[in-house]
């Protein structure tokens, strides 16, 4: 799998406060995994490398609006997200109270994500990108290869991996630029995801390896 600025993009899922900030509503579940993997630092390294080397960056965010809370059924973690107000916004056209909220970007990512060049897609609603415009945005820019990172490993990252593969993209996952919940009854989400990454992804990379490939490809020109 060779990277090229014309055909490869960095895709981040849910680089938001509710997952990655100690003040986020899921920190009790994901915090240890985030700290152990140095997830925040590694996502930032990917952003620096991608932006410096001229790669396009896409974000598939997670937002819930009041009408989403009227759903009549859902899976275990899906219901939990609704119960704790995760990623809540007052409406799809309303940014009241957004800045600094759990739905907002982690502050240290804002210089990269709010630069006017990053493509912020419409929100995905459960875990995968089937309900948003990520695939359309990628295809409209000629992207066929995806470097995937973000939160959380066994939910949104894995679901995006599976759907993007089904849609015909070549996908590499950056394994230490994600993390997952560790729950005494539900188990270790990160360990589960890592197993599936290794079975499914085109490549499973460390941040160091991904940064090296981004930089090397850019220095060599289009491949």
Q: Which of 185, 184, 179 is nearest to 154 (CA)?
A: 179
The per-residue b/e assignment along 10-43, b for 16 or more CB within 10 angstroms, e otherwise, is: bbbbbbbbbbbbeebbbbebbbebbeebebbebb
Can you give the C-alpha Rg of the chain in angstroms?
Answer: 16
Check if the beta carbon of residue 150 is closer than 8 Å to that of residue 121: no
Q: Please report the pLDDT score of residue 80 as a whole number.
A: 87
**DSSP-derived secondary structure for the chain:** ----TTTEEEEEE--BHHHHSTTSTTHHHHHHHHHHHTHHHHHHHHHHHHHHHT-EEEEE-B-B-GGGGG-S---HHHHHHHHTTTTB-SBTTB-TT-TTSTTSBPGGGHHHHTSS-SEEPPPBSSSSGGGSSHHHHHHHTT--EEEEEES-IIIIIHHHHHHHHHTT-EEEEETTS----EETTTEEHHHHHHHHHHHHSSEEE-HHHHHHHHHHHHHH---
- pLDDT per residue, tens digit, the chain (223 aa), is 899 999 999 999 999 999 999 999 999 999 999 999 999 999 999 999 999 999 999 999 999 999 999 999 999 988 989 998 999 999 999 999 999 999 999 999 999 999 999 999 999 999 999 999 999 999 999 999 999 999 999 999 999 999 999 999 999 999 999 999 999 999 999 999 999 999 999 999 999 999 999 998 655 444 3
Q: Please report the pLDDT score of residue 222 as a whole number.
A: 46
Q: Please report the pLDDT score of residue 132 as a whole number.
A: 98
Pairing of the two strands 8-13 and 145-150:
parallel
Q: Please report the pLDDT score of residue 218 as a whole number.
A: 53
Q: Please report the pLDDT score of residue 94 as a whole number.
A: 94
What does the CA dihedral 66, 79, 88, 112 come to, rounded to 10 degrees?
Answer: -140
Q: Which residues are paired to 202 by β-bridges?
A: none
Check if the beta carbon of residue 207 is closer than 8 Å to that of residue 177: yes
Other Cβ atoms less than 10 A from the Cβ of 9: the count is 23
Q: Cis peptide before 152, with omega less than 30 degrees from 0?
A: yes
Q: Could you give phi then psi for residue 121, rounded to 5 degrees?
A: -80, 170
């Amino acid at each position: 799998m060779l990277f090229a600025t014309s055909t490869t993009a960095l895709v981040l899922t849910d680089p938001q406060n509710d997952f990655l900030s100690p003040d986020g509503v899921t920190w009790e579940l994901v915090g240890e995994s985030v700290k152990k993997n140095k997830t925040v630092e590694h996502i930032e390294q990917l952003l620096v490398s991608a932006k410096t080397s001229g790669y396009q960056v896409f974000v598939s965010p997670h937002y819930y609006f009041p009408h989403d809370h009227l759903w009549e059924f859902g899976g275990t973690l899906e219901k939990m997200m609704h119960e704790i107000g995760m990623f809540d916004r007052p409406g799809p056209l309303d940014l009241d109270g957004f800045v600094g909220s759990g739905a907002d970007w982690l502050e240290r990512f804002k210089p990269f994500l709010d630069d006017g060049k990053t493509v912020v897609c419409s929100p995905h609603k459960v875990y995968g990108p089937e309900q948003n415009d990520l695939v359309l945005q990628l295809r409209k820019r000629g992207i066929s290869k995806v470097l995937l990172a973000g939160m959380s490993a066994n939910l949104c990252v894995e679901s995006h991996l599976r759907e993007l593969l089904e849609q015909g993209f070549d996908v590499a996952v950056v394994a230490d630029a994600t993390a997952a919940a560790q729950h005494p009854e539900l188990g270790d989400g990160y360990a589960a995801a890592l197993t599936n990454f290794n079975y499914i992804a085109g490549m499973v990379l460390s941040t160091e390896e991904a940064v090296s490939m981004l930089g090397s490809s850019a220095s060599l020109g289009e491949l």
